[in-house]
């Protein structure tokens, strides 16, 4: 009996040594027009991440898919830095000093589809899963917001759906909802990168009361109309006065693309996060909307392709 017990404990220890966890995290589109730094939506495009924690100081990172060759695979890697943050919080950073990480990315890098949020959330979710889930999704939101600086991408990456987030005294709060409408997200992807840092550098430090009121009303109406599933109110709520006018010079033909999307039947269109992807929200004819957006980009000498996504309802999940 004792022999059996020892053998099964050894087998258990061996299986722990070779244990991997795997998670899937959706790409996201932040701002949704008027909701600068507070609205976001999870899209049905995903990055996958596999993790094995190691007791020794050793880091092996493999990247396939989008960004392979451009993403650092050493200590600077954001997935690893996020894992380390969680390990410190859990008091496990001495026990686990290294990791093997395999990433497969479908979310395009630096295009406004939340690639950095998927990396942060992927690292946190995988490490949490590895440790047996000591932290709640709200805890992960706090850690992810601390790393990213604002919650509008990390919130939908964690919770899925359409999210509204605020930060109060450094503490993020968020709720997630699934709209009562079958909204398709049509994302036009131009063939150039725009780092978020560069897109934030062109923003003013102060805005007028008039512009603030313009956005508050639209962000509130957008959220209410999605909750109620009221299509007619969604036709005039995707405009913005706080960030897009300043960023337009970074994306040739941006307003032409918005106009083309609406002419092809979209409810509205906006920058996806800090760009350069542009996103249209539509119930009808998503393919025609995507074609029209690419044509408008082309007329402005920008090559682009488009994707049609649904809204992801799950957020980051562990997968077998």
Which residues sit at the interface with ligand HSE, rule CB under 6 A?
30-31, 36-37, 150, 152-153, 196, 199-200, 243, 273-274
User: Is the CA virtual torsion 142, 36, 38, 311 positive or negative?
Assistant: negative
Helix or strand run (H / E) with residue 145: helix 137-148
Nearer to ligand HSE, 93 or 211 (CB): 211
Least Cα distance to 270 among 291, 295, 242, 298 occurs for 242
Least Cα distance to 128 among 209, 21, 230, 210 occurs for 21
Nearer to ligand HSE, 57 or 197 (CB): 197
Q: At closest approach, how far in Å is the CB of 277 from ligand HSE?
A: 11
Q: At closest approach, how far in Å is the CB of 250 from ligand HSE?
A: 12
Q: At closest approach, how far in Å is the CB of 120 from ligand HSE?
A: 11
DSSP 39-101: EEEEEEEEEEEEEEEESSS-EEEEEEETTTTTS--STT-HHHHHHHHHHHHTT-TTT--EEEE
Nearer to ligand HSE, 127 or 155 (CB): 155
Q: At closest approach, how far in Å is the CB of 226 from ligand HSE?
A: 18
Nearer to ligand HSE, 36 or 258 (CB): 36
Nearer to ligand HSE, 30 or 87 (CB): 30
Residues in the chain: 320
Q: At closest approach, how far in Å is the CB of 247 from ligand HSE?
A: 8
């Amino acid at each position: 009996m004792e022999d059996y017990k020892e053998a099964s404990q050894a087998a258990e220890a061996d299986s722990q040594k070779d244990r991997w966890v795997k998670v899937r995290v959706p790409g996201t589109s932040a701002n949704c027009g008027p909701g600068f730094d507070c609205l976001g939506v999870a899209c049905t495009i995903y990055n996958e991440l596999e993790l094995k924690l190691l007791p020794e100081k050793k880091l092996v990172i493999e990247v396939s898919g989008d960004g392979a060759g451009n993403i650092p695979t050493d200590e600077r890697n954001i997935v690893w830095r996020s894992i380390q943050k969680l390990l410190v919080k859990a008091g496990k950073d001495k026990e686990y000093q290294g990791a093997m990480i395999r990433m497969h990315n479908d979310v395009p890098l630096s295009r406004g589809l939340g690639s950095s949020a998927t990396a942060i959330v992927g690292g946190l979710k995988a490490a949490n899963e590895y440790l047996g889930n000591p932290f709640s999704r709200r805890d992960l939101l706090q850690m992810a917001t601390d790393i990213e600086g604002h919650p509008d991408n990390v919130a939908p990456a964690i919770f899925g759906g359409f999210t509204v987030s605020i930060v109060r005294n450094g503490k993020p709060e968020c709720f997630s909802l699934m709209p009562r409408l079958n909204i398709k997200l049509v994302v036009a992807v131009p063939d150039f990168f725009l780092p978020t840092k560069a897109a934030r550098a062109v923003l003013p430090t102060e805005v007028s009361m008039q512009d603030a009121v313009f956005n508050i009303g639209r962000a509130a109406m957008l959220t209410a109309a999605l909750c109620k599933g009221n299509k007619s109110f969604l036709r005039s709520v995707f405009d913005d006065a706080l960030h897009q006018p300043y960023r337009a010079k970074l994306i040739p033909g941006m307003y032409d693309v918005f106009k083309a999307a609406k002419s092809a039947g979209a409810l509205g269109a906006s920058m996806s996060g800090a760009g350069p992807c542009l996103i249209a929200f539509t119930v009808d004819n998503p393919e025609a909307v995507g074609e029209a957006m690419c044509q408008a980009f082309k007329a402005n000498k920008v090559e682009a392709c488009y994707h049609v996504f649904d809204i992801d309802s799950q957020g980051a999940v562990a997968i077998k």
